[in-house]
Structure 1
Amino acid sequence: MRVNVFDTHVRTREGRYLHFDVLIEGTDQARATQYARDWMATRGVQDADIEQSRCQFCHSEPAHPEIAAAVTGQGYYIIPLEGC
């Protein structure tokens, strides 16, 4: 399986910076953005708390078996990078 990586940057209203990658099959940016919102919500960051954000396609890569299993099961996989 190959996954597409969406480089995601979020600044909260409190000034907190979050940087993470959303890995999905396909190149649907709206879907990647929704998965980013869903993941942030599980960490207590709601849409109302977001001041600005960017979720854009970066590149494609072969998926590690653990990542492929997550993408198959829930539609996405998140790689936390900064502030997560």
Structure 2
Amino acid sequence: MKVSVWDTYVNRSDGKIMHFDILVPSNFNNEDKIFDFGKNYLKTKEFITKELTAKECNFCHIDVAPDIVVQEITEKGYSIIEIENCN
């Protein structure tokens, strides 16, 4: 499955910057919904973050997803890859 990778940076209340990717099917282009996926992910964190908007989340590239990502997208519509300061 080809996926769109949305590169996302969100400021945390402790001054750190979270970096994570939101992956969705490559034919999915509803930006508001993609931002909602990111906001839902942020709600799972114990720390406080600033708002997620188009300024923090941008389309980066299209890639081929590994099976585990395909499974997660099939189950909930998106997948998150944590890169930096996500825990």
The structure with the largest helix share of the pair is 1
TM range (shorter): 0.7 to 0.9
Matches within 5 A, 1:1-84: 1-25=1-25, 26-45=28-47, 49-50=49-50, 54-84=56-86
Gaps of 5+ in 1: none
- Structure 1 runs, 4 residues or longer, greater than 6 Å off: none
Question: How much does 1:51 deviate?
Answer: 5.5
TM-score by length of 1: 0.85
Percent of aligned positions that are identical: 30
CA RMSD of aligned residues (A): 1.8
Question: How much does 1:12 deviate?
Answer: 2.5
Gaps of 5+ in 2: none
TM-score by length of 2: 0.82
What letter is aligned with 1:5?
Answer: V
